[in-house]
Amino acid sequence: MDSPYTIKQVLTDSNLLQAWYKVRANDGCAGIDRETLSDFESGLMSSLALLRDEVIYETYRPRPLLRVHIPKKHSPATRPLSIPTVRDRVLQTAVTRILTPLFEEEFEECSYAYRQGRSVNMAVQRVEQLRDQGFVWVVDADITSFFDEINHQVLLREIRKLVNDQAVLHLIGLWLAAVVIDGPQRFRLIKGVPQGSPISPLLANLYLDQLDEAALDENLRLIRFADDFLILCRHKQEAAKALAFTAEVLQSLRLQLHDKKTRVVNFRHGFRFLGVEFVRSLAIKAKYPDMQPTALETEQLGQIPDECAAAVDPEQETDNDKALLVDPDEFEASTDKARIIGYQYPKTELALAFAEAGIKPSYFPEQNSAEGLPGEADEPEQVMAVEPPVSAPVGAPADLDPRLRTLYVLENGYVLGKESERFTIRQRNRILQRIPSIKVDQIMIFGNAQISTQAMHFCLQAKIPIYLLSGQGRFHGVVDGFSTDPVLLHRDQFRRAEEPQFCLALAKSCIQGKINNCRTVLRRYSRNQGLDSLSRTADRFKIILRELGKAATLDAVRGHEGTAARMYFSALSERLDPDWCFSGRTRQPPTDPVNDLLSYGYTLLFYNVYSFVRARGLNPHVGFLHQVRAGHPALVSDLIEEFRAIIVDAVVLNLVLNRRVTPEHFVMPQGAGKECIMHETARKLFIRELEKKMNAPITHPMSGLRLDYRRCIEHQVHHLAAVIQAREPIYKPMMLR
């Protein structure tokens, strides 16, 4: 069953129409675009349809807010209101209608402002009730510039506790980042919520709900109407403690009590609350209540169009249907999960957008440079950072963007889709995540996860390969566009495959790299663990390497490879505890946890190499060491050999020896010929560690360049292409010491 608090419900015909009716009933003025209610209504259905489409295709942008100043009654001061355009008010109201029931479940009984069925009169009656019960000492409190001081991060933290739909959060983020135009001035808020936006009363109440809960937890009698509140106590000492407690809670919310307007009093001396004078047992409506102009009094506001009469102050008595208050804080997109490691982005909206896309410009204009904020038509998209896919690159070298960024879709029932310039991950019609397509270079889909036709078409056009694998990592196929561009390279590759000496030389190089790097891994662990058996096996590899150089046939090369592999895995088995049940390499199926990890890792590595081979224009099925057979990317099998030990084996050993993965993370084979099955938690951990390894920096031994492992693979693929085309004399594998 769909959640009732999603963008799907926001954009229904019924909800948008009801939102329009509410905006029209409020009879507000035009916003910065000068579009009146009548203008919007003249093409109502097309206007609503356009608004819906802009949200669906993520092209919606809020207009700047129009700042107007309304004089306070019986005061020379003014109160600023920030008016959204009609279209923005409709959409904000539509979101508010959907979120209100969700937020209402969290709100407390002591809160009376901007809530359906609650009013000033109810708050006054509650004061009288408590007074009659003996609560005669009062903390009469007022928060300093509450609406202007709301902390954006604190507010967003509370919103995210309740709202899971990323599209709704994205809309709120856009509204929070809106520009305010105040005469010749144009600026963004860095704190506070502008009074005048339909969604603001709801967000303001959510912000102070933390105060309500804290007071009730302390068994305090709190009565709150927006930022005006009372705490009623039986004794003066209790009131003093309540005042100190309240100040502490507000400080945690980045708010302060107004020194001149906050005091401890009792009913004998009297006080005023919500326009009512409380003196002893009397409650008298104040002669000069702290209220904003009514509709009749706005006639004197010459600088505001008549239609602005309904843009009332939030402190005016109103139910939720009439409330027009604020557009909250500037939305701060988290760049921690969408940044290039080591690159410091300026704290600007434009920079955040580049951060999400993973792009590092050489220059960013200053936020408050001479050009000022971007014009309305040029406003950058305010992006909301989403949780990265399990493959999010970590540990990349400080001066490099992550290479070949991989999106892993692991969960059964997940659907990979495409909206605008983003991939989406859905489950039961609920969007779980959005990933900018510019951040994805290849996709791996496991098990019963699915992909939409739109996403598939986009990937084919963008040359993003889609690998389809079983839940345990067994390859089923690849969705990849066929390109005829590298036909000349293919011709050279086929010719080289028919040259026995070329194939033999290349095969020797590939296996030389593999055996050397296996030896490197054994030597590292023999030093770290003090195991002579590993060191002895590593030394024996020297003999095999010398014999490899004398091999005269491909079969002889393969024989030396097999001998080295058996020795290598036998040596590793001596290092592992018996509960791993590892005695050597077994495949198809893997029958123990270590073999399961190795097979899974080799599969992921294989298709990373495959992507680089295809990107370079080589034919992945025409190899030189491995025999050509239908459906087998033999060239990829050739190239993967030198990287198996230093990437996959290193990750597996790290996880196993440090017990970050244990045998309990696996289901052992349930009979002969059955495979060992990895639990989902181990699978996700392994992918994260493999990604970390792929992005780890290393000095490439031949070029001397500081690269990550993926770029090393790419370097070797380009090197092989140059050898095939006779632009370089011999293939040199990547060998580590």
Q: What distance in Å separates the CA atoms of residue 483 and residue 200, rounded to the nearest whole number? A: 53
Mean pLDDT by runs of 10 across the 737 residues of the chain is 76 88 87 88 81 84 88 73 92 93 89 87 86 88 87 87 88 85 85 84 90 90 89 91 92 89 85 76 48 29 35 33 26 26 41 43 36 31 30 42 74 86 86 83 84 89 82 76 73 92 94 91 73 74 88 92 89 84 84 90 90 85 86 91 93 90 86 82 90 87 80 88 86 90
| 149 in a known ligand binding site | no
- Residue whose pair of structure tokens reads 């967003």 in the numeric block: 156
Where exactly are the structural domains of the chain? 7-291, 406-479, 487-725
Q: Do the Cβ atoms of 422 and 434 come closer than 8 Å?
A: yes
The pLDDT of residue 375 is 31
Residue 250 sits at φ, ψ, to 5 deg, of -65, -35
The sign one gets for the Cα dihedral 437, 442, 448, 454 is positive
CATH no. for 406-479 = 3.100.10.20
State the pLDDT at residue 528: 60
Residue 300: predicted pLDDT: 27
**DSSP state letters, 154-171:** HHHHHHHHH---HHHHHH
Closest CA to 610 of 598, 599, 597, 623: 623
Phi-psi region of 50 (alpha: psi -120 to 50; beta: other; left: phi over 0): alpha
- pTM for this structure? 0.46
To the question of whether residue 561 is assigned a binding role by annotation, the answer is: yes
Please give the CATH topology (third level) of the domain spanning 487-725.
Answer: Four Helix Bundle (Hemerythrin (Met), subunit A) (1.20.120)
DSSP bridge partners of 599? none
Instruction: Say if residue 218 carries a ligand binding annotation.
Output: no
Those residues with Cβ within 8 angstroms of residue 446's Cβ, 6 or more apart along the chain or in another chain: 408, 409, 410, 469, 470, 471, 473
* Tokens matching residue 659: 């017990």
ω into residue 663 within 30 of 0, thus cis?
Answer: no
